[in-house]
Structure 1
Amino acid sequence: MTSVTSLFAPVETDLDLLTHNLKGLVGARHPILSAAAEHLFGAGGKRLRPAIVLLLAKATMANQEITPKHRRLAEITEMIHTASLVHDDVVDESSVRRGVPTVHSRFGNRIAVLAGDFLFAQSSWYLANLDNLRVVKLLSQVIMDLAEGEIQQGLNRFDTSLSIEAYLEKSYFKTASLLANSAKATGVLSDISEVTINQLYAYGRHLGLAFQIVDDILDFTSSDEVLGKPACSDLRSGNLTAPVLYTMAEQPFLATLIEREFAEASDFDQAIELIHQGNGIQKSRDLAAEQSRLAVECLASLPPSAAKQALQDIADYVLRRVF
């Protein structure tokens, strides 16, 4: 299957520069933070979010170079994303991510929290220096949404009354807001029509939701090695995702197991078995497919280009991970 990084060919050189710049932006003012930055930005992440910013910049700036402000927006996007991961790993007590030790497991919780705070602060500083109030507002909203999503997830642990709509809202806050608002900010910096700016926002929103739903499916269908973290970890911690919610509608006993927080020895294994026996995973695939289709439709007004094709292919790639 095509790797996602091969889809970034139109901006491959730009992404190499971005990775180099990110390590420098975090800076060497403190050896521990510098080591944490090297660890974070050298951990083999897909760079999906900054790649989308750079591809959208190319797709909306036909026959023009990507501007320095677009490049900085891509860097800010990745810094915000990485900061959120550092904090998530502390909250979730995750020991590995992408198959490597998390910052808090390597440097301790105190350094991890400070490193996440530092990245958020750095991203805010560079954001302010773009001198574009509308872009500042868009990316500041993302930081609020990330916190809101984490709070919602924490408050809804083992809550079997959670609806698919509430799950999608939380998924928007935790995953899709960054893609949606950074896509919209790209359009603002490209000075394109308001209609197209809003279509870019919708592309990011639908793509982000598809990506999160697919990740939640993979939590039940992939191994620890493929995931780079323990499989089924969301359910074990009480985070109820689409496959679980759909299965509960068919198998009410799953709700009983969840409500007692897998208190009995066989409860968790029984819950996993119910999820694999039912239609919840397939219904989640259908939900992801609909979001991916909607994302591609949002690109219709962009002129043909290698960058536009890559953006369409990314939406297809996200879906192919579970088909």
Structure 2
Amino acid sequence: MTDTITRDIIEHLGFTDEIERLRRYIEAWVAGCSAEMRPLLEWQFIAKPKYFRPLTIFSCYRAVREGEIPESIIRSAAVLEMMHNVSLVIDDILDKSPERRGKATMHTRFGELNALMASGFIVAEGYRLSAEDPHDILLFSDLLKRLGVAECAQWRLRRQPLGVEDWLAIAGEDTGSMFETCACLATRDDALRKFAHLLGVLYHGCDDVGDVKGLESLGGGGEEDLRDGILTLPASLAIADPSISALFCKPDPTPEDLTIISAAMITALPAADKKLDELAAEAKWEAQLHTATPATLFALVDYTRELSRR
């Protein structure tokens, strides 16, 4: 998601002030942290983040309540963003990613030990900031457990002859759990949990499709998933062909194998787009079922769906 798209979403949904309050909250938190950790936290947080998950929190809150977003929700959004960044740091180490969105990853800049220690520090700080809110603490605890299980499952299931239903399960625990947490932080109940789950799976799928379109244009973000045999949405469709599945499941695919798999994933893009359209429609149906004024949530779904088209 480019900075322009992010800005457009924020302005369209009417959360410019709330995002600025969130940014100031995170900057103040970083400034007050240990001097030893501060350079790492500044590197990770003081940049141009997308803030799509906090935006989901604000949108879910506004869908069920009127009035100004309270400071408690700003704090919840900040801690959620912290937990999200922990997952990014660990993913980058696992994927051996030297860069993220054109910037050196934390472990590349500061070393793996420092990045891992910073991850633990961020989690501890998130719980400290939430100390007086048992509701948030329980949600963050559940989220971190689900993310850990999802990461282990995703790696265990690499290079396996799986399908779209398996991808839905993986995406639902990986990204769906994060978005579920956003909704529950906002509404303080489970009213929009299913909507947010679908939104998260849609986001995950749009990211998968965007990565393959990057492969198609030489130099996107899908090389690592292709190399590691990760089950993305386009891969789950491509390996329905037994010959592609055989290549995908090889322990050590050759560059030629990866080229063939990549071409098959590109061919699968129309089917992937169809699945994303179905997820978007289902998410909108859930929003309409559980809110009297779902326009903000509809817009969030539409913007998410557009991510794979850019």
1:257 pairs with 244, 247, 251, which one? Answer: 247
2:20 pairs with 16, 20, 33, which one? Answer: 16
Deviations 1:208-263 (A, max 9, x none): 00000111111111269998x643321111112121111111x2111221222453
Task: Kindly provide the amino acid, as one letter, of the partner of residue 175 in structure 1.
Answer: T
What does residue 193 of structure 1 align with? none
Quick one: distance in 2 between partners of 1:74 and 1:108? 28
Quick one: distance in 2 between partners of 1:274 and 1:175? 25
- What number of residue pairs does the alignment pair up? 304
Find out whether 1:221 has 2:221 as its counterpart.
no
How does 1:1-323 map onto structure 2 within 5 Å?
3-9=5-11, 10-62=14-66, 64-130=67-133, 133-160=134-161, 162-188=162-188, 197-222=189-214, 230-249=221-240, 251-277=241-267, 280-300=268-288, 301-304=290-293, 308-323=294-309
Quick one: distance in 2 between partners of 1:226 and 1:127? 43
Question: RMSD of aligned C-alpha atoms?
Answer: 2.3
Deviations 1:18-51 (A, max 9, x none): 1121132244443342112212123322100011
Quick one: distance in 1 between partners of 2:21 and 2:243? 52
Q: Is the 8 A contact 2:95 2:224 kept in 1?
A: no
Task: Kindly provide the amino acid, as one letter, of the partner of residue 287 in structure 1.
Answer: K
Quick one: distance in 2 between partners of 1:242 and 1:167? 6
Secondary structure at the residue paired with 1:46? coil
Quick one: distance in 2 between partners of 1:145 and 1:226? 34
Q: Is the 8 A contact 2:210 2:308 kept in 1?
A: yes
Deviations 1:256-282 (A, max 9, x none): 2122245334111121122223xx222
Task: Kindly provide the amino acid, as one letter, of the partner of residue 262 in structure 2.
Answer: I
Quick one: distance in 2 between partners of 1:284 and 1:156? 20
Instruction: Give the gaps of 5 or more residues in structure 2.
Output: none
Secondary structure at the residue paired with 2:48? coil
Quick one: distance in 1 between partners of 2:93 and 2:28? 24
Instruction: Give the gaps of 5 or more residues in structure 1.
Output: 189-196
What does residue 192 of structure 1 align with? none
Q: Is the 8 A contact 2:215 2:262 kept in 1?
A: no
Task: Kindly provide the amino acid, as one letter, of the partner of residue 106 in structure 2.
Answer: V
1:104–1:27: structure 2 CA closer, same or farther, 3 Å change rule? same
Farther off after superposition, 210-219 or 173-182: 173-182
Q: Could you state the TM-score of these two structures normalised by the residue count of structure 1?
A: 0.86
1:53–1:237: structure 2 CA closer, same or farther, 3 Å change rule? same
Deviations 1:88-108 (A, max 9, x none): 111111111122110000010
Task: Kindly provide the amino acid, as one letter, of the partner of residue 304 in structure 2.
Answer: V
Q: Is the 8 A contact 2:63 2:296 kept in 1?
A: no
Task: Kindly provide the amino acid, as one letter, of the partner of residue 105 in structure 1.
Answer: T
